[in-house]
Amino acid sequence: MSRIEGYGRVDRSRTVTVTVDGTEYTGHPGDTLASVLLAHDARPLGTSVKFGRPRGIGAAWVEDPTGLVQIEEPFPEPMVLASTVEITDGLVARGVNGQGRLSDVADVARYDHRHVHCDVLVVGAGPAGLTAARRAARDGLDVVLVDDRPEPGGTLTGTETIDGRPSREFVADVVAELAADPRVTHLQRTTAFGHYDDGLVLALERRERGASRQRVHRIRAARVVIAAGAIERPVVFEDDDRPGVMLASAARDFLHRHGVLAGREVVVFTSDDAAYSAAVDLHDAGAAVRVLDARARVPEVWARRCAERGIEVSADTQVHGTLGDDRVTAALVGAERREVPCDLLLVSGGWNPTVHLFTHVGGRLGWDPALGAFRPAAPLPGVEVVGAADGTLDLAGCLRQAGGADAPHAEEEHGEPTMVLWRTAGEPARQFVDLQRDATVADIARAVGAGMRSVEHVKRYTTIGTAHDQGKTSGVVASGITAELLGRPIEDLGTTTFRPPYTPVAFAALAGRARGDLYDPVRTTAIHDRHVAAGAEFEDVGQWKRARHYPQPGEDMTAAVLRECAAVRTGVGILDGSTLGKIDVRGPDAAVLLDRLYTNMMSSLKVGRVRYGVMCGNDGMVFDDGTVLRLADDRFLVTTTTGNAAPVLDWMEEWLQTEWPDLRVRLTSVTEQLSIFAVAGPRSRDVVGAVFADLDVGNDAFGFMSWQDTALDGVPVRLARISFSGELAFEVAVSSWYAPALWDRLIEAGRPYGITPYGTETMHVLRAEKGYPIIGQDTDGTVSPHDLGLGWAVSRKKPDFLGRRSFARPQNQDLLRKQLVSLLPVDAATRLPEGSQIVHLAEDGRLPAPPVPMLGHVTSSYHSAALARPFALALVKGGRERIGEVVGVPVGGELVAAQIGDTVLVDPEGARRDG
Amino acid sequence: MQLIACPWCGPREELEFSYGGQAHVAYPADPAGLTDEQWARYVFFRDNPKGPFAERWAHSAGCRRWFTAVRDTRTHQFVSVGPLAGSEATP
């Protein structure tokens, strides 16, 4: 037990029990899994991924490359750092041997996000961050302060003095001042993990209470102050991966945060001053300590403090290796590899400023030889880097830099500069650089030997810096060793790119509430519950749920669709067409606008009439189609395909605003306001006539492609003679508020005629039998109206409209363009899969020698009730010239023969539309 | 996530906007009078400069208005935004 009385800020009045690798351990609130394990001198946590070498706790926070655990309870989480897991009663974890494992149960916790706007965001609540936040708050600004640790104060241990008082009192005072300021939001356990354009920072809050487990704060700040501190870096030596080898600052952290002494017999190997405070503190807590300083000159002040305590300090001394089985038992010192017994080997090779958030937004780094590290080289607008993150490592300097006029004061300490030491002499294959990836100096040498000169290439070749820690301790060291091997200065090489996230973020947190039903908005029509009650199967059309078919007991989709098709062709069916895009086009120049947008003439359409229209892009390719109702001289109702409702409105707006702002037209989407039901079939007139008894629905009074307004119990209803099936049909439109009532009336009136609700699949079959294309299914953006056989819908009278000029291009005149045709499988039995290729058959009916000429592909394919056989629509090169020809369609290894025909397979003379 | 300053709504996140390509490419006055080459130039060809570029943007998820912006293609920084030439409204 290595818990030391009088140290640490854990709550010793309470006990927390956790289980690691089957053993129960007790700790206190404020402990992490790592501190509990160290307090109990627990055995190493796991083994490394490649070589199976033992792995233990290497650092006290997110930079630890080795102390990975798999959390089992309360919720399974793979590969998290023991150093960052705050313990709670009942926590169950185990060490990770090699790789972690994803949970096989669903995460039921809630995750959410929040948008935050502020004048100043301060990242890091260490001395520099607290000071910067206090300064901004005193300036009257809206301040957000986030810090990833459970408690504020950063690396302040409490042994420092600020403004003449213990540093923890300074922290408490600043925190209280910020808490009293309503314009300050202060969040601990909140990691700013990504920094993006224009002051956007994403921060992940690990919540202790509240409805969600984690919360992503999307913080938009006018100014971002990065006070993220610095991360100590190790020196690489032989067998530096043994458990018990630890960053010097980490041991100090465990002592002052958790009251845990990580070793009793301690060797401190350093090339900078900071490690001396660890030596002194651990000595004072009861450890036997010896310092080995790689530098020729030992800093005076520390030499004195060590001498006072009887800590032996050796200058110009390096650790070359270690001994031990599953943990370190001795350091091998100097070229002679003298054995110095120890159970804790602390290492410090200087400090790397935590510049991640600075570089996420393109900040450039430069090598600072005095500091022996990379630090921000040039300022970024709206971004300030202060304290250790900027390379200001001493406390006095941090406070001064962050504090402005009323900066807190700390005594200056004068020491010796850091010596840049990447590694000591030894066997490269056992000098571990990235302990998580088991990557060594030998791997870097191999990369350099293979000709790599860029640290980015070396990183990818060796995988150094690609693990959970993203090279927080190994990245710059790898650059340094690469530079040494290449014989070039490190400033020429630079360092690898830091990308978000700073620490791993669960996908669940990024997804937030946008999962399951909330993943994407679901749009349902006004009578959705009627479809559900009728047993409909739904299909997704964009965000819409559309009834696809209504299977009766025992029916599969094919059977249901055949039944529904037969009902429409012989009796009456009803379809919910409410998802069609609907645009109200209003204004004195409405007809002019539509004439320019549609291929056909809309200005000649008479009020009360309906016209089918096609829209093309400037390239002359079909973009959308639909019907246009002229409601008044200056008003049209335009329908679009379901999926294109928004794009068509955007398209119309774009031309209106950017090219023809002189046209007086207003466009309004009425898709959701208006519900439309298609009543189709030879008995549709009976049904509609029964519901609207006042209306003359006879063919003379109510002709094809005309509309009429009427009312039902005082509710306005619009009917139109529009048919997408070739049958006599009425489209009945009503305000969506009244849609359920109207639907019920139509169903009721249709009962004597066996009215059959039909879905989109049936609609597709019926329209395909008539050769009506579906834009987006039978077309793909390379198909012109002429290719579809819609040349009749292209005006010859209008001088111009969108796409017209392109029709004259030679490419559009090519006789071998793919044209829409029908395909009838010769065996009258095979349903050709949509997307099937169509190939030319040789004389003997077999495949010709490769390369096999490709003629086109199947775009739509169904079983037809009316034809009592399967049929398809297809785009075929020079298709209309090939009518009557037999082509091949490879289906599952077989070659199916199919005959090309005209697109209209049912009622080619159009006799059925008037009933 | 950049902020784009809509001339009418002020700075909003870029996902509210849609891109409309190069600005000031007018629809030809007489398409029928153009050669195939000239028409193809209009339909298919746009500039791709390194540096300031005048572009059309639409505030699709906001006021739905189109506007012109000059954006530096090297930095993505918006140099200026303004209403379309000939637009009836000014912000």
Does any domain span residue B5? yes
Say which CATH class A421-493 falls into.
mainly alpha
A599: closest CA of chain B, how far (Å): 15
For the ranges A404-408, A487-491, A685-689, which has the lowest average pLDDT?
Answer: A404-408
Q: Indicate the pLDDT class of residue A123, thresholds 50, 70 and 90.
A: very high
Whether domain A528-578+673-767 has CATH 1.20.200.10: the reply is no
Question: For the domain A581-669, what is the CATH superfamily, name and number?
Answer: Aminomethyltransferase beta-barrel domains (3.30.70.1400)
Predicted confidence (pLDDT) per residue in A189-213, tens digit: 999 999 999 999 999 999 988 889 9
**Residue A444 pLDDT class (50, 70, 90 cuts):** very high
Query: Among residues A243, A256, A339, which one has the least CA distance to residue A290?
Result: A339
Distance from CA of B19 to the nearest CA of A (A): 11
Nearest to B32 among A618, A662, A805 (CB): A805
What pLDDT score was predicted for residue A31? 97
User: Is position B31 within any domain?
Assistant: no
Please list every residue in chain A whose beta carbon sits closer than 8 Å to the beta carbon of residue B87.
657, 661
pLDDT category of residue A266 using cuts at 50, 70 and 90:
very high
Q: Which chain A residue is nearest to residue B75, measuring alpha carbons?
A: A362
pLDDT band of A98, cuts 50, 70, 90: confident
The answer to whether B60 contacts A658, with C-beta atoms less than 8 Å apart, is no
Burial of A613 (0-12, 13-18, 19+ CB in 10 A): buried
Q: Is there a domain that residue B42 lies in?
A: no
Query: In the numeric block, which tokens belong to residue B70?
Result: 């000059």
Chain A residues with CB inside 8 Å of B3's CB? 197-198, 220
**Residues 4 through 23 of chain B touching chain A, CB cutoff 8 Å:** 11, 18, 20
pLDDT at A291: 98
Domain chopping of chain A, boundaries? 16-104+234-348, 111-231+353-406, 421-493, 528-578+673-767, 581-669, 816-915
State the pLDDT at residue A850: 87
Structural domain contains residue B32:
no
Chain A CA closest to residue B2: A197
Token couple for B5? 């300053």
Name which CATH class applies to A816-915. mainly beta
Lowest mean pLDDT among A480-484, A791-795, B2-6, B81-85: B81-85
Least confident of A48-52, A288-292, A361-365, A738-742: A48-52
Compute the average pLDDT of residues A422-434.
97
pLDDT of A168 higher than 70 = yes
Give yes or no on whether A111-231+353-406 and A528-578+673-767 have one common fold: no
What would the mean pLDDT of A618-629 be, rounded to a whole number? 97
What percent of chain A is modeled with pLDDT above 70?
100
- Of the candidates A876, A640, A872, the one whose C-alpha atom is nearest the C-alpha of residue A771 is A872
Q: Do A806 and B88 touch (CB under 8 A)?
A: no
Q: Which residues contact A127 (CB under 8 A, 6 or more apart)?
A: A153, A154, A156, A162, A167, A170, A387, A395, A398, A399, A402, A408
**pLDDT of B90 over the 60 cut:** no
Number of domains in chain B: 1
What pLDDT is recorded for position A42? 87
CATH topology of domain A111-231+353-406: FAD/NAD(P)-binding domain (3.50.50)
Q: For residue A689, what pLDDT band results from cuts at 50, 70 and 90?
A: very high
CA distance A617 to A623: 6
Cβ–Cβ below 8 Å for B31 and A650:
no
A-B C-beta contacts closer than 8 Å: 56
Is the CB of residue B91 less than 8 Å away from at least one CB of chain A? Answer: no
**Closest by Cβ to A661, choosing from B3, B40, B87:** B87
Architecture of domain A16-104+234-348: 3-Layer(bba) Sandwich (3.50)
Average pLDDT, chain A: 95
- Mean of the per-residue pLDDT values of chain B: 92
Among A163, A110, A24, A154, smallest CA distance to A508 is for A110
Residues in chain A within 8 Å Cβ distance of B31: 800, 804-805
Sorting pLDDT into bands at 50, 70 and 90, what band is A251? very high
Least confident span in A104-113, A580-589, A765-774 = A104-113
pLDDT 10s digits, A343-391: 999 999 999 999 999 999 999 999 999 999 999 999 999 999 999 999 9
- CATH number of the domain residue B86 falls in: 3.30.2270.10
pLDDT digits (tens, 9 = 90+) for A758-788: 999 999 999 999 999 999 999 999 999 999 9
Q: Is B85 a residue whose pLDDT tops 80?
A: no
pLDDT classification of A686: cutoffs 50, 70, 90:
very high
Q: pTM for the whole thing?
A: 0.91
Structure tokens given for B89: 């409204």
Quick one: residue A912, left, alpha or beta (phi over 0 = left, psi -120 to 50 = alpha)?
alpha
Q: What does the pLDDT look like over A847-856, one tens digit per residue?
A: 888 888 899 9
C-alpha pair distances (Å), A229 with each of A394, A455, A754, A853: 11, 24, 77, 66
Would you say residue B74 lies in a domain? yes
For residues A873 and A853, what is the distance between their CA atoms, to the nearest angstrom? 19
Give the pLDDT band (50/70/90) at residue B87.
Answer: low
Percent of chain A with pLDDT over 90: 92
- Pick left, alpha or beta for residue A284 (phi over 0 → left; psi -120 to 50 → alpha; otherwise beta): alpha
Span A697-748, pLDDT tens digits:
999 999 999 999 999 999 999 999 999 999 999 999 999 999 999 999 999 9
Provide the pLDDT confidence category of residue A872 given band limits of 50, 70 and 90.
very high
pLDDT of residue A504: 95
Q: Do A804 and B39 touch (CB under 8 A)?
A: no
In a domain, B19, yes or no: yes
Confidence of residue B84 (pLDDT cuts 50, 70, 90): confident
State whether residue A835 is helix, strand or coil: coil
Tokens standing for residue A615: 């829209």
What is the domain range of residue B81? Answer: 1-26+47-91
**Domain presence at residue B34:** no
Distance CA A318, CA A238 (A): 12
Report pLDDT for B86.
Answer: 55
Q: Yes or no: say if A755 and A572 are a contact pair by the CB < 8 Å rule.
A: yes
Rounded distance between C-alpha atoms, residue A642 and residue A664, angstroms: 27
Interface contact A589, partner B, CB < 8 A: no
* Chain A contact for B26 (CB, 8 A cutoff): yes
| DSSP summary character for residue A609 | B
Identify all chain A residues contacting B32, using CB atoms and an 8 Å cutoff.
799-800, 804-805, 808
- Are the C-beta atoms of A270 and A244 separated by less than 8 Å? no
The distance of Cα A348 from the centroid of its chain, to the nearest Å, equals 38
